[in-house]
Structure 1
Amino acid sequence: MGAPVAAVLSELRAQLEAAGIEDPGADVELIVAHVLDVARGRVQALAILGTELGDDELARIRDLADERARRVPLQHLTGRAPFRGIELEVGPGVFVPRPETETVAQFAIDALRAVPDPEPLAVDLCTGSGAIALALANEVPTARVRAVEKSPEAHAWAARNVARLGDGRVELLLGDVADLDPGAGDPAPGPLAAAFDPLAGRVHVLVSNPPYVPSGMVPRDPEVRDHDPELALYSGTDGLDLIRVISRAARRLVVPGGLLVLEHAEGQGRAIRELLATDGWRAAATHQDLTLRDRATTAIR
């Protein structure tokens, strides 16, 4: 039989707390909201009003709570991830966007807004779900955005989000960012390089949240370690292999005076500033996120 919303929230909050979930109360409320197809605030109101859940609703809520207790990401259970006011579709095979990345997107958004060109051009490399690319298009309506993703699984999620939220201003490409590296010496560049050739020296902002975890450093959180795609996490022994590629590729694409924005881990800022300076970037600076941890480095072409 069913049970009162308040009792279910209390019971499942304790279950998730015992499983080590960081914010069990919020997760339970979001699970209930997902099953009932209501806003989280409505769940809180239903608890106060003494509303009871039906048997089918309760069974589904318990099943999802059990999965969350096994550290399946909440976003995989609901199929949704919020990011800067938009709601992205996510699931297995794609990196779940983090709140910290919203700070990274802000640097790109601010730079795009300052471009005098009536249609500023942005590129988002390693787009994953399309989070940053779609945030740029949503918050800078005059911008044109080109996004690239290597993983076919992640690209499929990004394509769904671009179709629903891109308003025709985000072009999504499937390909390996390494193909854009002018130092690779490939005598026969692939279709991705050919697609970007016309953009050489025309991109106003290039932003990326690339893989940056060192290959020997296994993430502690099961949600990341067991569910985020390895392709979106690891990048060589120091975590900077792809960032080196992006720096060189961006030098060819970004207009003089344009901006490069890179997300990275705490403790990588100095090494990134040094490699950017070596590649000819100017005014490299590392910035903190809302948790006061180094999160992004910017540089000027």
Structure 2
Amino acid sequence: MTEQNPVDNRRASSATDAGASASGDVALLRARAIDALGRAGIENPDVDAELLIGHVLGLSRGQVQAKAITGSLVSIADAAVIGSAVERRAGREPLQHITGTAPFRALELSVGPGVFVPRPETETVAQYAIDALAAVGGGTPIGVDLGTGSGAIALAMATEVPHAMVHAVENSADAFVWATRNFERLGGDNARLVFGDLAGAFPELDALVDVVISNPPYIPLGAIPRDPEVRLFDPEQALYGGADGLDVVHSVSTTARRLLHEGGALVIEHGELQGAAISALLVSDGWNAIATHRDLLGRDRATTALR
């Protein structure tokens, strides 16, 4: 798999008026971009416009805003690249695919086609695993991320609990390319990535792990994601979890029970309507202290349990 150019200069000449196809100042390009993205249904067109302009010009959002106020000029070449980027975003291609990066907690991850783009709500879910890992007394705590995708959760755990050892597994070849890139750039000696099936992962760690976390595919097959960015660009393997969305959750529960020692913690991210079903599944599998947690918008987002 080859890395996609975050902004394809070859498409620059096709940028339309809506994306700013000629030179101008930052204020004009920003206004055109906001208009184009707003008409395309982008929820926060000003944010995306400033991020795209900043990506091309090597500026932060604040610097883009400052240059818009001062009327700073942009070259014809840069204006064309900005126009191309805006055109792609107006087509509902994820912002992160265009820039090639996605923020996650303190990390800046490389992402693109073939890997699930980490979401802000997962940052809160990761906190449960980070807190549990950091609370382990003595020695080197062990964490496992089942289905790591881009490596977001595993790398957050490894960097924020540096005395821990974190193991991650991914079974998608496309996603593994991105995870490998992120582990090489952001991971240290305490982060290990392997390619393989979740069910058979890390037999050498049976009954030794302190924390297992997973953000598995949990969308039921009959449910169609509302956002085009998800529906059209996120890999299906990272989205759909069988008829009820819980096929992979069953596997996570079984694998986590094998890996965790008694008293070890499990953290699972899930959809807002799945808390009760996942709690029932975990009760059936013999887990203890099961609790469902809400995200910042008050929606059920994660369930935790103890081995």
**Band the TM-score falls in, shorter-chain normalisation:** over 0.9
Q: 1:95-125: per-residue Cα shift (whole Å, max 9, x none)?
A: 0000000011000000011001331000001
Residue 33 of structure 1 aligns to a residue whose secondary structure is helix
> Are residues 1:23 and 2:44 paired?
yes
Please, which of 121, 135, 142 is the counterpart of residue 142 of structure 2?
A: 121
Please, which of 2, 26, 34 is the counterpart of residue 13 of structure 1?
A: 34
Structure 2 equivalent of residue 296 of structure 1: 302
Counting matched residue pairs gives 286
Structure 2 equivalent of residue 37 of structure 1: 58
> Are residues 1:208 and 2:214 paired?
yes
Distance 1:2 1:271 in 2: 55
- Following superposition, the deviation at residue 168 of structure 1 comes to 2.0
Distance 2:197 2:54 in 1: 38
Equivalent residue runs for 1:29-68 within 5 Å: 29-68=50-89
Structure 1 equivalent of residue 114 of structure 2: 93
Equivalent residue runs for 1:108-187 within 5 Å: 108-178=129-199, 180=200
Distance 2:185 2:214 in 1: 22
Q: 1:166-212: per-residue Cα shift (whole Å, max 9, x none)?
A: 0121111111213x3xxxxxxxxxxx4xxx12211110000000000
Structure 1 equivalent of residue 98 of structure 2: 77
Structure 1 equivalent of residue 268 of structure 2: 262
**Aligned residues: CA RMSD:** 0.8
Distance 2:250 2:236 in 1: 19
- Following superposition, the deviation at residue 89 of structure 1 comes to 0.2
Please, which of 124, 136, 149 is the counterpart of residue 103 of structure 1?
A: 124
Please, which of 226, 237, 240 is the counterpart of residue 231 of structure 1?
A: 237
Distance 2:171 2:45 in 1: 34
Residue 114 of structure 2 aligns to a residue whose secondary structure is coil
Distance 1:168 1:291 in 2: 36
* TM-score, length-scaled by structure 1: 0.94
> Are residues 1:251 and 2:257 paired?
yes
Distance 2:56 2:190 in 1: 33
Distance 1:247 1:36 in 2: 46
Distance 2:154 2:78 in 1: 36
Distance 1:255 1:104 in 2: 21
> Are residues 1:241 and 2:231 paired?
no
Structure 2 unpaired stretches of 5+: 1-21
Q: 1:42-75: per-residue Cα shift (whole Å, max 9, x none)?
A: 1111111110111000000000000000000000
Distance 1:142 1:56 in 2: 47
Q: 1:17-50: per-residue Cα shift (whole Å, max 9, x none)?
A: 1100011100010001110112221111111111
Residue 272 of structure 2 aligns to a residue whose secondary structure is coil
Structure 1 equivalent of residue 288 of structure 2: 282
Residue 244 of structure 2 aligns to a residue whose secondary structure is coil
Residue 149 of structure 2 aligns to a residue whose secondary structure is coil
Which consecutive aligned stretches of 4+ in structure 1 deviate over 2 angstroms post-superposition? none
Structure 1 unpaired stretches of 5+: 181-191
* TM-score, length-scaled by structure 2: 0.92
Distance 2:130 2:158 in 1: 9
- Following superposition, the deviation at residue 143 of structure 1 comes to 0.9
